[in-house]
Homo-oligomer: A and B are copies of this chain.
């Protein structure tokens, strides 16, 4: 019998915390302060949405969990690096993250800079040193996939678009373009990497057409994730979120709420949720975790 989603996700979250803790450089290894700060920035924090998506996609195709662990960890440390750098004074200047002081507050700016650089590098070290696919050439494609998702035409590029948009009035397509890069690219990469860990298993290879369906699911879920974030940021108070609420509006940053109003933003999230579910139709019961994750992402605390 299949475990319910709450049990599945909390079991994976707890297990994945151990995986990350074991993969990251230990705090006693030199240079200690850097390694301690890297662990501070990654461990004991967040909902691990990207890893859960990778695990759900991996289960869909019958991938070995030990392989998906590495893909999920690589994506998660890239996510963590982006938060450390984004929180720095020259970017968003945030002092609180997941209810804890941000990395540059807890340590110092120079260390935070190096923490981000080192976590980003570590993701690719893991993809180079662990076997994720029986076919090494396919694994090289996974290296490329993650780099494109994280780089100047992916997540980092989205951050650049975000910088350029402060104080400007964006159109809806411009806002969408920003988020497709800034948060969407890495979410899609999590799903695709999870699925590609299973692309050579005996349970049957995942086809290019199926990867396209999963990518479309990821695109919708990634965008919905951001719309919901904007709604929550607008509505919630600092205590609930564990970060400074209303900050986007204070910074004169465009959001789905400022552009559409809160009701239309909620409708948009629901529409994207429906499109994500529709993209999974052909996978049947095997995609149940991905459906539940779409629910989880879109329906949290509206």
Interface residues of A (CB under 8 A from B): 25, 29-31, 33-35, 38, 81, 85, 88, 90-91, 108-111, 113-114, 116-118, 120-122, 124-125, 127-129, 135-137, 139-148, 150-153, 156-157, 159-161, 163-164
Contacts and interface: CB of A to CB of B under 8 A. Distances in A.
Contacts of A114: 152, 156, 159-160, 163
A160 B25 CA distance: 14
A142 B127 CA distance: 11
Assembly stoichiometry (copies): 2
Contact of A152 (B35, B140, B146, B153): B35
A30 B161 CA distance: 9
Contacts of A88: 90, 113
Given A34-B160, A85-B117, A91-B110, 6 more contacts: A25-B152, A34-B157, A88-B113, A121-B156, A125-B147, A129-B144
A38 B121 contact: no
A113 B85 contact: yes
Contacts of A136: 135-137, 139-140
B90 A153 contact: no
26 contacts: A30-B157, A31-B157, A31-B161, A33-B164, A34-B152, A34-B157, A34-B160, A35-B152, A38-B152, A85-B117, A88-B90, A88-B113, A111-B160, A113-B113, A117-B120, A117-B156, A120-B121, A121-B151, A122-B147, A122-B151, A124-B143, A124-B147, A128-B144, A128-B146, A136-B136, A136-B139
